[in-house]
């Protein structure tokens, strides 16, 4: 545990408070404050990631603590980009607590790394890690947007919860933002899976080895593929997309962490602690 | 002598029953006559009269309060042909700060029956234009009215008072925006006719909806209505097919039964590829099956639902009005400062110090540039002092004499403007 990551967590937590106040009081300045605090947290966080990268020579995902911290970092980065493009002001109410939690939990694990395998310095592996993390961060945002969509839809349908109706953006906006994050998530995870398969061939001599992580990754990928397919052809939108985005995210979480912790396989190091 | 004092007499929905308010409503011609008559009386220098269905207000700058009130009452009684005794009890009289505050509150819709309703500021502007055309306002009321518009604008932009929908059509538009984001390029289907439905359509058009389609059991009526909205008319039987492309459906028919059922919409949603559709059911009894609201991506609001939305918005408005009152209080204080400064003595003092200040500044520059000796500086200072005295002598005499006369505020205000003396 070091002070830089503590700084990042502190700023994320402050940002979370800013967004909470924004949610209740609806003052644009509070949202801006939350956003800038979040960006400050991201700066600290980035510094931490890059200094780890420099000392280790590889992307710091060698144990569970590092992996979580890295996850928090990519979610934060994707959120900042997403915010710039969609200006979905309220999304911080989901992202700030999520990033704070992931990063804080990650920083509680011991960070010592025993050995650095030279295999980690392969181009395909680096590409695999980066794209998979970005893709999964986009799915995490899609899940958040989906939750907001369901809340807003519920408010409009039941005609009672004016509290949410007033505070959340329009269904159309949530739907298109959710769709956009699923499309980008899908694109990145597709690249990531392809890079992973190529790397498997280089490292272990075969593309596919029925490792549980591999199987679950493909299942996750298929869930999102079905979602996109149905949206384009059968016009799945609104509530269905939102529910699927949330379910997809939980399946992804299982693939990401559950498989490693519960089932044996060659991604073991990645979540060792 | 003191500047003219501000006096306001009037009645509103709180003090007068509707019958009396109807009796007291001034037409444009009557208002014209009233302001001109009042201005002719010696006690009243400036007048403005505003009359709406909920209120009648006469704003005046007067020399003598009680006489002005009497004159105004007599004038009302004469023009509206009503006994003073019949309306006297409903009248309120405000003076000075209270009058200013009352005007600001009225202009920013804080005193309205429906707090925050937007029409009032337009009505006050009309009253202002009438008085301006009739030249019954002077410096004081002019300034006061401009302040009132400014306060109204601040209240509208800085508080949530104007945000909330208080009419059925506002509420419908607000909900539409929560579903579709923007209403731009959305198409609207109007089934039937009726004042409220047409109002809602007009409101939607103002929000840049793309296409208006009108269906009516009597095709000719539909055509007529469609022309008014620059839309197209369709036959009543076509409504189901046209719902495939419509985004907002407003229904207001006299039909005793439901005209759109859940089963129909279920089919239509497939054809629409689940694009959201918003039904606004203004009819009583209802036209649209409420069960449609349970289908995904379709939303149904009937008249009761919209009324609930409105009730809650009214609540919010009342909360926001606390903020608005603070803005009004600030403005009242600022206006008082300006008004007090209109006195002759403060104006002369301000004028004198403004010139002295300029002279000092120039003197310093000259002294620095020329490197003068003590004696020379003193001489120059003396020269400047007597120069200023000579220049200001006549204007000050003039202000002292005319400033106390009839309409002193014009001269005082002009002097302030000429010399850029801060208000």
- pLDDT tens per residue across span B89-128: 999 999 999 999 999 999 998 888 777 777 888 889 999 9
**Residues in chain A closer than 8 A to B301 (CB atoms):** 159
Task: Label residue B17 by pLDDT band (50, 70, 90).
Answer: confident
> Number of Cβ pairs closer than 8 Å across A and B?
49
Helix (H) or strand (E) holding B12: strand B5-12
CA separation, residue B327 to residues A265, B155, B162, B331, B337 (Å): 67, 7, 15, 6, 16
Closest CA to A129 of A267, A232, A234, A16: A267
Confirm if A230 and A110 have CB atoms less than 8 A apart: no
Confirm if B319 and B159 have CB atoms less than 8 A apart: no
Sequence-separated (6 or more) residues with CB below 8 Å from residue B415: B347, B351, B395, B399, B421
What pLDDT, on the 0 to 100 scale, is given for residue B328?
Answer: 93
DSSP B2: P
**Residues in chain A closer than 8 A to B305 (CB atoms):** 159
Query: Above 90 in pLDDT, residue B371?
Result: no
Confirm if B158 and B165 have CB atoms less than 8 A apart: no
pLDDT one-digit tens code per residue, B38-52: 988 888 889 999 998
Task: Give the bridge partners for B212, in sequence order.
Answer: B188
CA separation, residue A138 to residues A49, B49, B182 (Å): 19, 62, 25
- Please give the average per-residue pLDDT across B11-32, as a whole number: 88
Residue A180 C-alpha, separation from nearest chain B C-alpha, in angstroms: 16
Q: Hey, are the CB atoms on B276 and A240 less than 8 Å from each other? A: no
**Residues in chain A closer than 8 A to B175 (CB atoms):** 156
Among B39, B53, B75, B404, the one annotated catalytic: B53
What is the C-alpha radius of gyration for chain A, rounded to an integer number of angstroms?
19
Q: Which of B179, B293, B309 sits opposite A170 (nearest CB)?
A: B179
Q: Hey, are the CB atoms on A239 and B275 less than 8 Å from each other? A: no
Q: Hey, are the CB atoms on B308 and A159 less than 8 Å from each other? A: yes
Closest CA to B45 of B406, B422, B411: B406
Q: How far does CA B79 lie from the centroid of its chain?
A: 27
CA separation, residue A250 to residues A177, A216, A224, A247 (Å): 19, 12, 12, 5
**Residues in chain B closer than 8 A to A240 (CB atoms):** 296
Closest CA to B187 of B268, B252, B248, B277: B248
Phi and psi at residue B192, to the nearest 5°: 85, -160
Query: Above 80 in pLDDT, residue B147?
Result: yes
- Residue length, chain A? 273
Q: Which of B180, B272, B274 sits opposite A172 (nearest CB)?
A: B180
What pLDDT, on the 0 to 100 scale, is given for residue B1?
Answer: 44
Sequence-separated (6 or more) residues with CB below 8 Å from residue B370: none
Residue B307 C-alpha, separation from nearest chain A C-alpha, in angstroms: 11
Q: Rounded to whole angstroms, how far apart are CA atoms B130 and A199?
A: 83
Q: Which two tokens stand for residue B242?
A: 């046209």
Residues in chain A where the model's pLDDT stays below 50: none
Q: Hey, are the CB atoms on A156 and B179 less than 8 Å from each other? A: yes
Degrees to nearest 5, angle at CA B48 with B154 and B84: 125
Number of H helices, E strands in chain A: 10, 0
Residue B182 C-alpha, separation from nearest chain A C-alpha, in angstroms: 9
Q: Which two tokens stand for residue A25?
A: 């009081």
Please, which residues 205-234 of chain A have a Cβ atom closer than 8 Å to chain B? 234
DSSP B59: E
Residue B173 C-alpha, separation from nearest chain A C-alpha, in angstroms: 12
What are the strands, taking DSSP E only, across B33-73?
44-51, 55-62
Q: Hey, are the CB atoms on A239 and B297 less than 8 Å from each other? A: yes
Token look-up 């272990």 returns A204
Cβ neighbours, 10 Å, residue B7: 25
- Residue length, chain B? 423
**Residues in chain A closer than 8 A to B276 (CB atoms):** 171-172, 238
Region of residue B208 (phi > 0: left; psi between -120 and 50: alpha; otherwise: beta): left
Residue of B nearest to A238 (CA): B297
Q: Hey, are the CB atoms on A238 and B276 less than 8 Å from each other? A: yes
Q: Rounded to whole angstroms, how far apart are CA atoms B377 and A253?
A: 87
Tell whether ipTM is more than 0.90: no
On whether any CB of chain B is under 8 Å from the CB of A237, the answer is: yes
Residue of B nearest to A240 (CA): B296
Q: Rounded to whole angstroms, how far apart are CA atoms B289 and B7?
A: 57
What pLDDT, on the 0 to 100 scale, is given for residue B170?
Answer: 79
Q: Rounded to whole angstroms, how far apart are CA atoms A183 and A164?
A: 27
Concerning whether B39 is annotated as a catalytic residue, the answer is no
Residue of B nearest to A170 (CA): B178
Average pLDDT, chain B: 86
CA separation, residue B32 to residues A114, B39, B50 (Å): 94, 11, 11
Q: Which two tokens stand for residue A245?
A: 């985005």
On whether any CB of chain B is under 8 Å from the CB of A236, the answer is: yes
What pLDDT, on the 0 to 100 scale, is given for residue A70?
Answer: 92
Q: Select the residue from A145, A171, A232 to test the B interface by mutation, using most B Cβ atoms within 10 A.
A: A171
Q: Select the residue from B181, B299, B323 to test the A interface by mutation, using most A Cβ atoms within 10 A.
A: B181
CA separation, residue B31 to residues B65, B121, B141 (Å): 21, 18, 17
Evaluate the CA torsion angle B378, B380, B383, B385 in order and state its sign: negative
- 3-state SS, residue B230: coil
Residue B181 C-alpha, separation from nearest chain A C-alpha, in angstroms: 5
- Please give the average per-residue pLDDT across B145-153, as a whole number: 93
Closest CA to B23 of B89, B73, B86: B86
What pLDDT, on the 0 to 100 scale, is given for residue B209?
Answer: 85
Phi and psi at residue A33, to the nearest 5°: -60, -50
Q: Rounded to whole angstroms, how far apart are CA atoms B58 and B79?
A: 14
Phi and psi at residue B159, to the nearest 5°: -120, 165
Q: Hey, are the CB atoms on A170 and B175 less than 8 Å from each other? A: no
On whether any CB of chain B is under 8 Å from the CB of A173, the answer is: yes
Range with the poorest average pLDDT among A39-48, B157-166, B283-292, B317-326: B157-166
Edge-to-edge strands of the sheet including B187-192? B232-235, B211-216, B187-192, B248-252, B277-281, B298-302
Closest CA to A142 of A95, A107, A102: A95
Q: Is the backbone peptide bond immediately before A35 cis, with ω within 30 degrees of 0?
A: no
């Amino acid at each position: 545990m070091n002070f830089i990551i503590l700084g990042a967590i502190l700023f994320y937590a402050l940002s979370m408070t800013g967004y909470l106040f924004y949610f209740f009081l609806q003052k644009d300045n509070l949202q801006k404050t939350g956003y800038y605090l979040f960006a400050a947290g991201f700066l600290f966080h980035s510094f931490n990631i890059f200094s780890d990268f420099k000392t280790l020579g590889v992307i710091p995902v060698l144990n569970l603590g590092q992996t979580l911290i890295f996850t928090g970092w990519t979610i934060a980065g994707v959120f900042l980009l997403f915010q710039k493009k969609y200006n979905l002001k309220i999304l911080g109410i989901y992202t700030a607590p999520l990033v704070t939690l992931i990063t804080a939990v990650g920083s509680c694990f011991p960070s010592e790394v025993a050995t650095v395998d030279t295999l980690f310095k392969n181009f395909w592996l680096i590409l695999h890690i980066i794209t998979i993390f970005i893709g999964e961060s986009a799915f995490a945002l899609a899940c958040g947007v989906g939750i907001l969509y369901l809340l807003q839809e519920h408010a409009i349908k039941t005609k009672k919860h004016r509290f949410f109706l007033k505070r959340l953006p329009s269904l159309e906006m949530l739907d298109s933002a959710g769709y956009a994050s699923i499309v980008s998530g899908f694109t990145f995870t597709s690249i990531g899976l392809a890079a992973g398969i190529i790397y498997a061939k280089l490292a272990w001599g075969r593309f596919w080895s029925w490792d549980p992580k591999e199987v679950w990754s493909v299942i996750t990928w298929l869930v999102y593929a079905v979602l996109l397919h149905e949206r384009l052809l059968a016009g799945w939108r609104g509530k269905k997309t939102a529910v699927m985005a949330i379910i997809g995210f939980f399946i992804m979480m299982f693939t990401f962490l559950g498989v490693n912790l519960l089932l044996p396989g060659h991604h073991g190091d990645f979540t060792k602690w | 002598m003191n500047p003219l004092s501000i006096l306001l007499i009037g009645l509103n929905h709180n003090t007068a029953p509707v019958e009396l308010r109807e009796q007291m409503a001034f037409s444009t011609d009557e208002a014209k006559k009233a302001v001109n008559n009042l201005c002719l009386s010696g006690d009243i220098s400036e007048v403005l009269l505003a009359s709406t269905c909920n209120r009648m207000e006469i704003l005046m700058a007067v020399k003598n309060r009680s006489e002005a009130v009497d004159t105004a009452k007599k004038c009302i009684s004469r023009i509206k042909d009503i006994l003073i005794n019949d309306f006297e009890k409903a009248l309120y009289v405000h003076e000075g700060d209270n009058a200013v505050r009352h005007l600001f509150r009225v202009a920013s819709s804080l005193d309205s029956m429906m707090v925050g309703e937007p029409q009032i500021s337009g009505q006050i502007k009309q009253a202002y234009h009438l008085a301006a055309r009739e030249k019954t306002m002077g410096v004081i009321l002019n300034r006061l009215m401009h302040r009132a518009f400014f306060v109204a604008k601040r209240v509208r932009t800085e508080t949530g008072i104007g945000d909330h929908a208080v009419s059925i059509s506002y509420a419908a538009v607000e909900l539409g925006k929560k579903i579709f984001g923007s209403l731009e390029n959305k198409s609207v289907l109007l089934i039937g006719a009726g004042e409220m439905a047409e109002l809602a359509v007009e409101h939607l058009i103002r929000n840049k909806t793309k296409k208006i389609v009108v269906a009516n059991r009597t095709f000719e009526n539909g055509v007529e209505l469609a022309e008014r909205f620059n839309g197209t008319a369709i036959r009543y039987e076509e409504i189901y097919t046209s719902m495939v492309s419509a985004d907002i459906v407003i229904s207001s028919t006299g039909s005793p039964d439901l005209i759109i059922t859940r089963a129909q919409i279920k089919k239509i949603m497939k054809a629409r590829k689940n694009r959201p559709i918003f039904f606004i059911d203004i009819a009583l009894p209802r036209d649209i099956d409420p069960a449609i609201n349970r289908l995904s991506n379709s939303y149904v609001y009937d008249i009761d639902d919209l009324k609930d939305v409105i009730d809650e918005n009214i609540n919010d408005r009342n909360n926001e009005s606390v903020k608005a009152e603070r803005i009004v209080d600030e403005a009242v204080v600022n206006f008082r400062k300006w008004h007090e400064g209109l006195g002759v003595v403060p104006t002369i003092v301000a004028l004198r110090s403004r010139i002295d200040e300029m002279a000092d500044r120039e003197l310093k520059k000259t002294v620095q540039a020329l490197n003068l000796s003590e004696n020379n500086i003193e001489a120059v200072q003396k020269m400047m002092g007597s120069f200023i005295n000579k220049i200001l002598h006549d204007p000050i005499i003039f202000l002292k004499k005319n400033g106390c006369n009839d309409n002193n505020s014009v001269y005082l205000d002009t002097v302030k403007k000429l010399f850029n003396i801060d208000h």
